[in-house]
């Protein structure tokens, strides 16, 4: 059996699959699996194209069965999102990892692959059929799977230069009397607005500077839906990643402020009554200002970790590799 996986997350999941003999077939020898990591799907293609490409690779490698594992969402002709599509006649199938929901992906993917093997092994199955997601939240489940596949908690690797600049900015701003006065003059809702604004500006800057916004290839409803899904997953990924970076910056700045500052001394200098509670407010304001200044002062477009947050960029890589193979 051939197991073909798209690069990145599908490859990581597929490499760890073992014992793929379907349940109930314990008497059979375990399938001899040949693993290949290469792109075989594009977002603008339909499911039949992916199945045809998998079938061609199966014939080239003389596989009895071939299963493709992709990180792209699959949609049926009725518009519903699919977990998988099976073509028993051509002994090929494709599994969409985002449809697994992003939680316990390896275990669920292994179980799904075993089900696909069983589906292609039974002679009484129809020539081709789809496995749609159940319930009304199919799109939400796919979106969650896409966001978690982007691993937003690793976005800090792409923002490391911005984080360093923000930390340096925050360290200096923390001991500036003018910053203390500004922080003390702001109400809670203004501080919250500054936080939201700084995070929003950083996300917009990353999208623009990294050219992460996906545009439809044509005016078809399928292409527009694909772009909406890609862009939503990118924005959610960036939001989670930037918020985590903001919280890390806040904690580090707070520790620095608690270490170097005495609120009573600063209060005497400014003619104000200050306590340690004011350090939390100061750090809140400094984190917002430093986040904004650190990100805008740093180039981000060339960082692979940033570009990996967008499905459209990974699809560009798939297209380039497929074009190279055809050439």
- Tens digit of each residue's pLDDT (9 = 90 or more) over 251-297: 988 888 888 777 777 767 666 767 777 788 888 888 888 888 776 65
Is 291 part of a structural domain of the chain? Answer: yes
Residue 164 or residue 45, greater confidence: 164
CATH number of domain containing 93: 3.40.390.10
pTM to 2 decimals?
0.81
| Measured distance CA(178)–CA(296) in Å, rounded | 22
Residues 179 and 306 in one domain: yes
**171 and 284 both lie in a single domain:** yes
Q: Positive or negative, the Cα torsion across 188, 189, 194, 197?
A: positive
Number of H helices, E strands in the chain: 12, 7
Same domain, 99 and 188: no
User: Do 125 and 221 sit in the same domain of this protein?
Assistant: no
List 69's β-bridge partners, or say none. 5, 95
175 and 289 both lie in a single domain: yes
Q: Domain check: are 160 and 228 in the same one? A: yes
Task: Check residue 93 and give its pLDDT.
Answer: 92
Does residue 254 contact residue 280 with C-beta atoms inside 8 Å? yes
Residues 56 and 3 sit within 8 Å (Cβ to Cβ) = no
* Residue 146, domain member (yes or no): no
Question: Are 115 and 158 within one domain?
Answer: no
Domain interval for residue 51: 2-138
Q: Is the domain of 32 the same as that of 105?
A: yes
Q: Are residues 179 and 290 in the same domain?
A: yes
Write the DSSP string, 164-209.
HHHHHHHHHHHT-HHHHHHHHH--HHHHHHHHHHHHHHHHHHHHHH
177 plus 88 within the same structural domain:
no
Task: Identify whether residues 156 and 122 lie together within a single domain.
Answer: no
Q: Which of 194, 200, 205, 192 has its CA nearest to residue 162?
A: 205
Report yes or no on 42 lying in a domain: yes
**Do 168 and 89 share a structural domain?**
no
Model confidence band, residue 27 (pLDDT cutoffs 50, 70, 90): very low
Structural domains of the chain, count:
2
Whether 144 maps to a domain, the answer reads no
């Amino acid at each position: 059996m051939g197991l073909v996986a798209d690069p990145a997350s599908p490859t990581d999941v597929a490499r760890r699959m073992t014992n793929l003999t379907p349940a109930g077939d314990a008497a059979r020898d375990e399938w001899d699996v040949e693993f290949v990591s290469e792109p075989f799907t594009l977002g603008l293609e339909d499911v039949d194209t992916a199945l045809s490409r998998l079938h061609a690779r199966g014939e080239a490698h003389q596989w009895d069965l071939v299963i493709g594992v992709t990180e792209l969402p699959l949609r049926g002709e009725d518009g519903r999102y699919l977990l998988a599509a099976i073509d028993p006649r051509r002994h090929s199938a494709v599994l969409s990892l985002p449809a697994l929901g992003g939680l316990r992906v390896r275990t669920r993917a292994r179980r799904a692959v075993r089900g696909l093997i069983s589906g292609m092994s039974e002679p009484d199955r129809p020539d081709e059929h789809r496995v749609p997601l159940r319930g009304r939240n199919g799109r939400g489940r796919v979106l969650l799977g896409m966001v978690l596949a982007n691993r937003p908690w690793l976005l800090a690797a792409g923002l490391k230069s911005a984080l360093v600049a923000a930390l340096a900015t925050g360290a200096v701003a923390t001991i500036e009397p003018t910053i203390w006065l500004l922080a003390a003059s702001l109400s809670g809702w203004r501080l919250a607005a500054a936080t939201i604004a700084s995070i929003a500006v950083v996300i917009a800057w990353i999208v623009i500077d990294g050219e992460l916004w996906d545009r439809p290839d044509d005016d078809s409803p399928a292409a527009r839906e694909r772009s909406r899904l890609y862009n939503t997953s990118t924005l959610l990924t960036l939001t989670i990643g930037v918020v985590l970076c903001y919280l890390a910056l806040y904690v580090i700045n707070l520790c620095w402020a608690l270490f170097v500052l005495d609120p009573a001394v600063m209060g005497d200098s400014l003619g104000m009554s200050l306590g340690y509670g004011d350090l939390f407010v100061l750090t809140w304001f400094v984190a917002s200002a430093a986040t904004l200044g650190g990100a805008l002062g740093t180039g981000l477009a060339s960082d692979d970790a940033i570009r990996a947050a967008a499905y459209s960029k990974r699809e560009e890589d798939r297209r380039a590799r497929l074009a190279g193979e055809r050439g």
